[in-house]
Amino acid sequence: MNQSALFTIFGGTGDLAKRKLYPSLFRLYRKGNLKDHFAVIGTARRPWSDEHYREIVQETIKDLHPSPAEAEEFSSHFYYLSHNVNDTNHYDELRELTERLDEQYQLANNRVYYLAMAPQFFGTIVQHLQSQGILTEEGFNRLVIEKPFGFDYDSANELNRQIRAVFPEKDIFRIDHYLGKEMIQNIAVVRFANNIFESMWNNRYIDNIQITFSESLGVEDRGGYYENSGALKDMVQNHILQVVSLLAMEVPVSFSDESIRLEKVKALKAIRRYTTEEVTENFVRGQYDAGKLDTTEFIPYRKEPNVAEDSATETFVAGKFLIDNFRWSGVPFYIRTGKRMTEKGTRINIVFKQVPVNVFHFDNEDVSPELSHNVLTIYIQPTEGFSLTLNGKQIGQGFNPEPVKLDFRQSAEVTENSPEAYEKLLLDALRGDGTNFSHWDEVANSWEIVDCIKKTWDQITPDFPNYAAGTMGPKASFDLLNKNGHDWIWTPDNWYRERGKLD
Ligand code: BG6
């Protein structure tokens, strides 16, 4: 498909545009999804010229090794407009440039507005797009919005009200970049295209589910943002609850964005809204202290730039969600995420129940062999694939069971060459396919769930810091599972401990 469209990027000089958007547009261009009939307007406050903007765009695609002619031709589609989002006159200039480029590149009035800047400006921008006549009657007008979408339910609701006054829901594409990741998209296929899993995907066969989003990086230079966010809002409200809904939803009647959303929203609605007592019992938070992993030493979160010395911001969350419906009643969905953990890794462990009786429990032996749980692991990143742990017989005399693992991982080459999340999401937005974006009903339910937790936490001063950088989080996260007789399946910290590289 070769789609005609004009992209207007608000925040065109920003980090996201440079790191993700321009390289993704280039990949689409290279593949022929964008060809002659596309143009990009980058806007921001700085007074750049088109020439300077194009040089920057070329710089951002250097790693993709375009030929000089290719880089030149691609960047010639980019135009820069110095723009103050609060100044109405600037939108008139934007309209003139929009109309000129529409004609020059024959864009059929198809327009994508990408808001890659601070959310407090979203409302003003969309109002002006309407009042200054930039939206078209013909072609399409689509709005792509980056997170954070609000900072709690009320602010998100207000933001949504402002946006929906101008754009209908079907034209709003709220980005959650995890939904563009290959293995997140694969969850639906694993579930709905394999009878062995589909038939067992419920509380009769599944014991618990564990979702880990661990990061080895600290807060880096984002202290200013992170201090007001914390891990709960930064990762759980969006990415993690999206994954929970994909794992928990019912089979959609068809694989259309509408049917999938309907089921995801039903799943989110069924997640229990916790009382204060339930939050204390089911959620733990942490903040990293100094630490040492192998030969690398880390400073505490409170010493990071733009972080308060007595910061109460959590850099780690672990928790147990309960889903009160027929399929999931009684199955804990454990989640954990944090900064400065042992390794960067996103994975899901589906832990199946044991067989009803262990017939390998031999009376005449002192120690009876333990049966391992069957575990389906979905590896989201950095490696992509699945594994299934089964019990097999130990070679030799007797019938001692031992765990064996069927393991499939995509090759590094395939992973490397698969489309980047932003590339896929941009193409989806261009095609008008909302499957991999967050619908307002999903966002609203996620905020409700997270607000309950945050409200309780705000009433109690946490005892921070409480985990050493380089570890898998505070002790309370392990206790949370232990009290239900469970353990975290993924323990990369043990590998380091066994080798004396971590205390
Ligand atoms: C972002 C968070 O949404 O996701 C960051 O704001 C986090 O704090 C990032 O580091 C993780 O994304 P990825 O794709 O690197 O796993």
239 is catalytic: yes
Grade residue 1 by pLDDT with cuts at 50, 70 and 90. Answer: low
Q: Is the pLDDT of residue 364 over 80?
A: no
Is ligand 1 within 6 A of the CB of residue 215?
Answer: yes
Is ligand 1 within 6 A of the CB of residue 176?
Answer: no
Q: Is the pLDDT of residue 419 over 90?
A: no
Per-residue pLDDT tens digits for 453-487: 999 999 999 999 999 999 999 999 999 999 999 99
Other Cβ atoms closer than 10 A to 44: 22
**pLDDT number for residue 497:** 96
Say which CATH number the domain at 114 has. Answer: 3.40.50.720
The answer to whether residue 334 sits within a structural domain is yes
Residue whose Cα lies nearest atom 13 of ligand 1: it is: 178
Residues 392, 480 share a domain: yes
Quote the mean pLDDT of the chain: 95
From 91, 103, 149, 15, select the one nearest 113 (Cα to Cα). Answer: 91
Dist. CA 30–CA 371, nearest whole Å = 52
Q: Is the pLDDT of residue 327 over 80?
A: yes
**pLDDT number for residue 118:** 86
Dist. CA 421–CA 423, nearest whole Å = 5
Please report which residue ranges of 381-434 form alpha helices under DSSP H. Answer: 412-417, 421-431
List strand residue ranges (DSSP E) for 246-315, in order: 283-286, 288-289, 291-293, 296-298
Residues 184, 126 share a domain: no
Q: Is the pLDDT of residue 239 over 70?
A: yes
Per-residue pLDDT tens digits for 272-309: 999 999 999 999 999 999 999 999 999 999 999 999 99
Of 129, 146, 163, the domain-final residue: 146
Residues 186, 129 share a domain: no
Which of 146, 178, 235, 236 is the best mutation target for the ligand 1 pocket, counting ligand atoms within 8 Å of the beta carbon and taking the most? 235
Of 146, 171, 196, the domain-final residue: 146
Q: What percent of the chain has pLDDT over 90?
A: 91
Domain holding 51, by residue range, is 3-146
Per-residue pLDDT tens digits for 487-498: 999 999 999 999
Per-residue pLDDT tens digits for 32-59: 999 999 999 999 999 999 999 999 999 9
Q: Is the pLDDT of residue 252 over 90?
A: yes
Grade residue 166 by pLDDT with cuts at 50, 70 and 90. Answer: very high
Grade residue 100 by pLDDT with cuts at 50, 70 and 90. Answer: very high
Say which CATH number the domain at 241 has. Answer: 3.30.360.10
- Closest ligand 1 atom, residue 344 Cα: 16
- Closest ligand 1 atom, residue 421 Cα: 14
Which of 239, 313, 315, 424 is the best mutation target for the ligand 1 pocket, counting ligand atoms within 8 Å of the beta carbon and taking the most? 239
**pLDDT number for residue 406:** 98
Domain count, the chain: 2
Q: Is the pLDDT of residue 83 over 80?
A: yes
Q: Is the pLDDT of residue 367 over 70?
A: no
Global pTM value: 0.95
**pLDDT number for residue 366:** 66
Q: Is the pLDDT of residue 399 over 90?
A: no
- Catalytic site residue from 77, 90, 239, 439: 239
Residues 260, 212 share a domain: yes
> Distance, CA 247 to ligand 1 centroid (Å)?
20
Residues 355, 434 share a domain: yes
Is ligand 1 within 6 A of the CB of residue 451?
Answer: no
**pLDDT number for residue 398:** 83
**CA torsion angle for 150, 156, 158, 161 (degrees, to 10)?**
120
**pLDDT number for residue 182:** 95
**CA torsion angle for 274, 278, 283, 289 (degrees, to 10)?**
120
**pLDDT number for residue 416:** 83
Per-residue pLDDT tens digits for 167-194: 999 999 999 999 999 999 999 999 999 9
Residues 324, 259 share a domain: yes
Residues 202, 346 share a domain: yes
Of 104, 130, 146, the domain-final residue: 146
**pLDDT number for residue 474:** 98
